[in-house]
Amino acid sequence: MSGPLKRRIVAVATWIGTFLLMLVICLPGLWVMLTGFRPNREVLAKPAIWIPEQFNLNNFAKIFGFGAEQIAIPVPAYFTNSLVIALTSTAIALIIGMSGGYAFARFRFPFKDSIFLGLMLSRTVPGIALSLPVFMIWSRIGLIDTKLGMIIVYTALNIPFTIWLIDGFFRQVPKEMSEAAQVDGCTRWQAFWKVEFPLAKSGIASAGIFAFLTSWNEYALASQLTRSTDSKTLPVGLMDFTAQFTIDWAGMSAMAVIIIIPALILTFLVQKHLIAGLTFGGVKG
């Protein structure tokens, strides 16, 4: 077999393999999205209707409280809660992650490695294992079913990861950058904002997006620590669609779509940032 032909076959096989793999990964998600646009009747039909016959926005109108059919689930409140909790915890995690990441990348201090290892080890504990202790403490100090309580939990959950990621990006910025800026007349603070921060920007952005997605999608802890519209987030709200004997699959899927869309948009942003990477022409190339 000649070289080019062989290469072609390998390329096609790779393509097919990738396609199948992506199909397996994406199909459930796609099915959920499709379901969101179809009436419950059709979703539950037996035998199954594979090709959608009706396709509309009724489910969305319903869960947001428009249109003829109403549903007793306060989606707008959940959406607001999710947004406030995810954005606030992300912002805090980023500020702390940036300070911590910079410190780990640039400074020497006692027990640096142990602290870093400790941070990483804290990531190995599954979130659900923390739910009982957190629940007990939160109930003592009155943080159960509050946005603040959730913000604190998610911030804590995200910090090790943001520190780790941002540390990696600052490490890639040679310390001579900051030194050159300082010799050029900057204070350390100016050198950070004018030179080091712009260079690590895309890394910090991706850390932020990861943190946001973690908070946005988290279910296990939120289901234990929230009760009402005061703090319930979208993933927890999904469970409102299950009644004792029935499940409103269509409504639930519509809500899932609402959860997925911001996540999807942000994921595309992450991708752009991660691929863009950093160009280090300033250093020997």
Partner 1 sequence: MSEIKLTNVVKRYGRVEVVHGINLEIAHNEFVVLVGPSGCGKSTTLRMIAGLEEISDGEIHIGDALVNDLPPRKRNISMVFQNYALYPHMSVRENLGFGLKIAKQSEAMIEERVGEAAEILGLSELMDRTPAELSGGQRQRVAMGRAIVRHPEAFLFDEPLSNLDAKLRVQMRTEIKKLHSKVKTTVVYVTHDQVEAMTLADRIVVMKDGYIEQVGTPMEVFNHPVNTFVASFIGSPPMNLIPARVESGKVKLADGASVPVPNRLADKVRDGQDVIFGLRPDDMTPEGHGINDTGQVATLELTVDLAELLGTETLLYTQLGGQDALGKMFDPRDVAAGETLRFRLSLDKAHLFDATSGKSVRL
Binding site for partner 1 (CB under 8 A): 174, 176-177, 179-188, 190, 194-195, 198-199, 278-285
Helix (H) or strand (E) holding 117: helix 112-122
Of how many residues is the chain composed? Answer: 285
Closer Cβ to partner 1, 47 or 185, answer by number: 185
Kindly provide the b/e burial profile for residues 224-250, where b requires at least 16 CB atoms within 10 angstroms of the residue's own CB. Answer: bbbeeeebbbbbbbbebbeeeeeebbb
Closest distance of CB 105 from partner 1, Å = 16
User: Which CB sits closer to partner 1, 90 or 202?
Assistant: 202
Indicate the residue among 69 and 184 with the shorter CB distance to partner 1: 184
Which residue carries 């289901």 as its tokens?
223
Minimum distance, C-beta of residue 194 to partner 1, in the bound complex (Å)? 8
Long-range contacts of 114-117 (CB under 8 A, 24+ apart): 116/167
For the CB of residue 223, give the shortest distance to partner 1 in the complex, in Å. 44
CB 197 → partner 1: shortest distance, Å?
10
Q: How many CA atoms lie within 13 A of 202 on its CB side?
A: 14
Instruction: From 73, 7, 34, select the one nearest 241 (Cα to Cα).
Output: 73
Q: Which is nearer to partner 1, 186 or 269 (CB)?
A: 186
Residue nearer to partner 1 on the CB measure, 11 or 274: 274
CB of 79 to partner 1, least distance (A): 37
